[in-house]
A and B are shown apart, each in its own frame.
Chain A
Amino acid sequence: MKKTVTLAAFLLLLAGSLSVIGCGPKADQSEREGQATSENGQAGKKTQSARDYISIVGSSTVYPFATVVAEQFGKTTEFKTPKIESTGSGGGFKLFSAGVGVEHPDITNASRRIKKSECEKCAENGVTEVVEIKIGYDGIVMANSKRAEPFKLSRKDIFLALAKEVPDPNGVEGELVPNPYKTWKDVNPSLPETKIEVLGPPPTSGTRDAFVELAMEAGAKEFAWIKALKKEDKNAFKKISHTLREDGAYIEAGENDNLIVQKLDANADALGIFGFSFLDQNTDKIQGAFVDDVQPAFGAIADGSYPLSRPLFFYVKKAHVGTIPGIAEYLAEFTAEKAWGDEGYLTEKGLIPMPKEEREQYAKAAEELIVISCDEL
């Protein structure tokens, strides 16, 4: 008798375990006894029930802003707080474009515009209606300790100081040599004679991609032959402008910006590269360098005069609006003046707001769910 009972117990537990693994989850499960008896152990593909929270993925630059909005949204409405993952812009697009359905994310954040290839991929997988919302601008700054003099750099200086290979300073056109410059003065006589020491993001970071595109590419294009190369051989151009030197002048200081600030505090000669929001949070310790004679400040980034600024976006699947509760209201929260306006709470976190007309344009796009077409890109 006892053995039968023990045996039965074993079998029951195993059945329960297997059915949990094989079956998809049901939204109302909370008792494990319930799991063991009520499932019909179907293995294989999932059976998803409707998701009642918004699923957002994407850029780690937009993440700090999206999380603030999500929290406000969760607290002021009866909807659940959206779940936001920081996967990077590229990873976010991959997840986003995989298809329509509750198992795919509803919104993806991006620190760059969607590429044409990504848009087409969406269409291929059934994601045909995508709404594009720009939320504001982010600046990339090169900052140093407040104890030293602020730097005044041109983008050409930046390129020459940090690229792995630079045009031969002894003038042979079309020739590249390994970067010979050791001090800033070598690059540009008007700069101080301090060792070139720049701490920046690793290749996994979106900030690095943005920096390379905005600063290095522009600096490289100051050389006419490199500029011409862009049209002929895009890959070669990219290699020249995107590859940063590895001899110790450029130090990949990891993803933790706090450590970079500490390092800058200790070493007044070093510069650090990060997003404007971080500079904004740490104005007690660091100051931004002038780029092309423009100081990185709120106004300058907003009106576009600071050259190293980029727009931030998020993209919404129109098909999910209505199925997943709360998307429309989340959009409304994000595009409200009290969030992204000049005095909004996102601005306090370091987001540079768009000019009023642009805000109105995108608020309208959010409200009416205006879909973009891949040909615009």
Chain B
Amino acid sequence: MSSSKNKSIAGASGSSRRERTIDIVNRRLAKRYRIEKRFRFYGLCSIIVSMVFLAVLLTSIVSNGYSAFFQTYVRLDITLDSAMLDRENPGKSNFQAIIKQSINKLYPEVEDRKSKRELYALFSSGAAFQLRDLVMRHPDLIGTTVSLWVPADDDVDMLMKGYIKRSVAENERRLSDRQLGWIDRLADQDRIEKRFNVTFFTAGDSREPELAGIWGAVKGSFFTLLVTLVLSFPIGLAAAVYLEEFAPKNLATDFIEVNINNLAAVPSIVFGLLGLAVFLNFFGMPRSTPLVGGLVLMLMTLPTIIIASRAALKAVPPSIREAALGVGSSKMQMVSSHVLPLALPGMLTGTIIGMAQALGETAPLLMIGMVAFIVDIPGGFTDPAAVMPVQIYLWADSPERAFLERTSAAILVLLAFLVLMNAAAVIMRKRFEKRW
């Protein structure tokens, strides 16, 4: 403040040449309030910036991803010619040829080999497998004509969703003018439409975007988290109970506490190194399995669980403990029958949050071989599996345009899980938290 403040405070009333303190103060007041307003403005700005970023992030992912929940299907009339199908062994027949035949029927004017290849490229290679499944389940359909909705190729799908623009010159487009004409004909015949993309939720990974799904990754995540939960919850609980209730205040306890904090500080990639060299190389566990993934993630979630559990234990008031001791229980009894049940909701909340963190982890799993092309849905803990974040990472690298939207959709599904888990934790905390 300037020198004017040093003017006499004692000269309160009376002298008109000297300023009163209150006048000095008042003069500056307006300016100070202005500074205050600017300050508030800045603070608000930064919060708004974060919100704007979050909004931009989510909006871009949603706008890229929502179209993945729909897939373009084409209706084909397929004659299940008994001459082409082997009644004894329906699975071995050449379904690709049957599909090609039904396509040819729709476009009888397409003659030469090259044009035909262009035509077949409009339909997904999954169509043949779909037909195969149908015939194997209902062999009595052989000899009849069925009307089947098969997935269209991902380029057609992109066209129908507007990502491939007709207005662009032909040689800069992935679909030729002729192909566009064929697609239009399908539309005229009401044979092409967008339907809900169930495949996305029921299939495993695939090289063809229209056949790719996240179910394999979801199951893999589930198994991995289960392993993590089973291992980290008891250990975290026991460690927290010890540190809060039983640990004497000595150097050893300090040592343990410091190291638990350090565990939280270890970068995630180092856990990956650990998993690689210890679990894979030394113990020889199978690569790419939820078992090893869960073990690595267990180490990462332990600190979260321990810290949350300790907070929950601290929140239980001493009166409860004293009361238990007062009626004659031993310390162990007191902890297990009085303190633990009361602290359990808080511990569970922390565990859920820890699991949510583990669900989103990718880096350590990269190192233990979970970055692999795995099509089959995992059935157990030792089947090779991908987890959702890793699947997202793999798809993000693929060149096909259709994978872009599927990656965004997969991120949305992952975020949905995370939001659910965090919301569950918050609700649980609100319901069971008692204010002592």
Direct contact of A and B (CB under 8 A): yes
Contact residues of A with B, CB < 8 Å?
A: 2-3, 6-7, 10, 13-14, 16-17, 20-21, 24-30, 32, 44-46, 48, 51, 53, 55, 63-64, 67-68, 70-71, 74-76, 80-81, 83-86, 103, 146, 255-258, 278, 281-285, 343, 345, 348
Chain A residues contacting B332 (CB-CB under 8 Å) are: 3, 7
What residues of B have a CB within 8 angstroms of the CB of A281 in the complex? 399-400
B174 touches A17 (CB 8 A): no
Q: Does B379 contact A (CB under 8 A)?
A: yes
Residues on A with beta carbons closer than 8 Å to the beta carbon of B173: 284
Is there an interface contact between A83 and B399, defined as CB atoms closer than 8 Å? no
A-side contacts of B371, CB under 8 Å? 85-86
Contact A83 B234 (CB under 8 A): no
Q: Which of B226, B286, B369, B380 lies in contact with A48, CB distance below 8 A?
A: B286
Are A14 and B234 in contact, with the CB atoms below 8 A? Answer: yes
Measured between beta carbons, the chain B residues less than 8 angstroms from A282 are: 399
The distance in angstroms between the C-alpha atoms of A86 and B208, with both chains bound, is 18
* Contact among A2, A29, A44, A255 with B397 in the assembled complex (CB-CB below 8 Å): A255
3 closest pairs, A vs B, by CB?
A46-B284, A81-B375, A25-B382
Q: Is the CB of B129 within 8 A of A75?
A: yes
The answer to whether B285 and A24 have CB atoms under 8 Å apart is yes
B217 CB to closest chain A CB (Å) equals: 14
A45 and B333: CB pair below 8 A? no
Chain A residues near B337: list those with CB within 8 A.
Answer: 2-3
Beyond A3-B332, A146-B172, whether A48 also contacts B284 by CB under 8 A is: yes
User: Complex: how many Å from CA A32 to CA B121?
Assistant: 47
Q: Please, how many angstroms separate the alpha-carbon atoms of A284 and B173 in the complex?
A: 5
B165-181 interface code vs A (CB 8 A; 1 in, 0 out) = 00000011110000000
Against A, the Cβ 8 Å flags (1 = close, 0 = not) of B158-192 are 00000000000001111000000000000000000
- B16 interface residue (CB < 8 Å to A): no
A258: chain B residues at CB < 8 Å are 399
CB–CB A46/B285 < 8 A: yes
The verdict on B79 contacting chain A, using a C-beta distance below 8 Å, is: no
A81 touches B374 (CB 8 A): yes
In-complex Cβ contact of A103 among B207, B286, B397 (8 A): B286
Query: Apart from A29-B380, A64-B207, A71-B208, what are 9 other A-B pairs with CB-CB below 8 Å?
Result: A14-B235, A17-B234, A20-B230, A53-B376, A71-B207, A74-B376, A83-B373, A84-B373, A103-B284
Which B residues are CB-close (under 8 A) to A146?
A: 171-172
Contact yes or no, A67 B373, CB < 8 A: yes
> Quick one: given A25-B289, A46-B283, are A10 and B234 in contact (CB under 8 Å)?
yes
A45 contact set on B, CB distance < 8 A: 283-284
- A-side contacts of B291, CB under 8 Å: 20, 25
18 intermolecular pairs with C-beta atoms under 8 Å apart: A2-B336, A13-B234, A14-B234, A17-B230, A20-B230, A20-B291, A25-B285, A25-B286, A27-B382, A29-B382, A46-B284, A71-B206, A83-B373, A86-B371, A103-B284, A257-B399, A284-B173, A345-B125
**B196-214 CB contact bits vs A (8 Å, 1 = yes)?**
0000000000111000000
Report A-chain residues with C-beta under 8 Å of the C-beta of B400: 281
Most chain A beta carbons < 10 A, residue from B129, B173, B376, B399: B399
> At the interface, yes or no: B135 with Cβ under 8 Å from chain A?
no
CB of B45 within 8 Å of the partner chain: no
Say yes or no: A85 contacts B288, CB within 8 Å: yes
Task: Find the A residue at minimum CB distance from B206.
Answer: A71
In whole angstroms, how far apart are the Cα atoms of A51 and B234 in the complex?
Answer: 31
A17/B235 in contact, CB under 8 A? yes
Give CA–CA (A14, B235) in the complex, Å: 8
Which residue of the partner chain B has the closest CB to A281? B399
Measured between C-beta atoms, what is the minimum distance from A320 to chain B in Å?
Answer: 15
Chain B 205-243 residues near chain A, CB threshold 8 A:
206-208, 226-227, 230-231, 234-235, 238
Q: A6, A21, A27, A83 — which one has the most chain B CB atoms within 10 A of its CB?
A: A83
Task: For chain B, residues 397 to 420, give those with C-beta under 8 angstroms from any C-beta of chain A.
Answer: 397, 399-400
Q: Of residues 380 to 433 in B, which have CB atoms within 8 Å of A's CB atoms?
A: 380-382, 384, 397, 399-400
Asked whether B207 lies within 8 Å of A284 as measured between CB atoms, the reply is no
Selected from A64, A284, A343, the residue in CB contact (under 8 A) with B174 is A284
A21→B286 contact, CB < 8 A: no
A80's contact among B171, B208, B376, by CB below 8 Å, is which? B376
Tell me the smallest distance from the CB of A126 to a CB of chain B, in Å: 16
Closest to B336 in A: A6
Q: Are A63 and B284 in contact (CB under 8 A)?
A: no
Q: How far is the CA of A214 from the CA of B257 in the complex (A)?
A: 57
A-facing mask of B67-100, CB < 8 A → 1, else 0?
0000000000000000000000000000000000
CA distance A3 to B286 in the complex (A): 39
**Cα distance A16–B286 in the bound complex, in angstroms:** 19
Given contacts A24-B284, A29-B381, contact A16 B230 (CB under 8 A): yes
Chain A residues near B238: list those with CB within 8 A. 10, 14
Chain A residues closer than 8 Å to B250, beta-carbon distance: none
Residues of B close to A46: CB separation below 8 A: 283-285
- B residues less than 8 Å from A16 (CB atoms): 230
Q: How far is the CB of B436 from chain A (nearest CB, A)?
A: 24
Taking the closest CB of chain A, its distance from the CB of B135, in whole angstroms, is 14
Encoded as 1 (CB less than 8 Å from any A CB) or 0, chain B from 326 to 366 comes to 00001011001100000000000000000000000000000
Instruction: Give the nearest-CB partner of B369 in chain A.
Output: A85
Pairwise interchain contact B172-A25, C-beta atoms closer than 8 A? no
Given A53-B384, A64-B207, A258-B399: A70 and B286 within 8 A (CB)? no
Q: Which residue of A lies closest to B381 (CB)?
A: A29
Residues of A within 8 Å of B269, CB to CB, are none
A53 to B384, CA, bound (A): 9
Query: Which of A32, A71, A283 has most chain B Cβ within 10 Å?
Result: A71
Q: Is A25 a contact partner of B333 (Cβ separation < 8 A)?
A: no
A112 to B173, CA, bound (A): 34
Q: Is B273 an interface residue (CB 8 A)?
A: no
Interface residues of B in 88-136 (CB under 8 A from A): 117, 121, 125, 129
Q: In this assembly, does B62 line the interface, its C-beta being within 8 Å of a C-beta of chain A? A: no
B284 x A3 contact (CB < 8 A): no
CB distance from B342 to the nearest CB of A (A): 15
Asked whether any CB of chain A lies closer than 8 Å to the CB of B148, the reply is no
List the A side residues contacting B397 at CB < 8 Å.
Answer: 255-256
Report how far A84 CA is from B371 CA in the complex, Å: 9
Measured in the bound complex, the distance between the Cα atoms of B382 and A30 in whole Å is: 9
A70 lies within 8 A of B171 (CB)? no
B372 within 8 A of partner (CB): yes
Contacts of A2 in B (CB 8 A): 333, 336-337
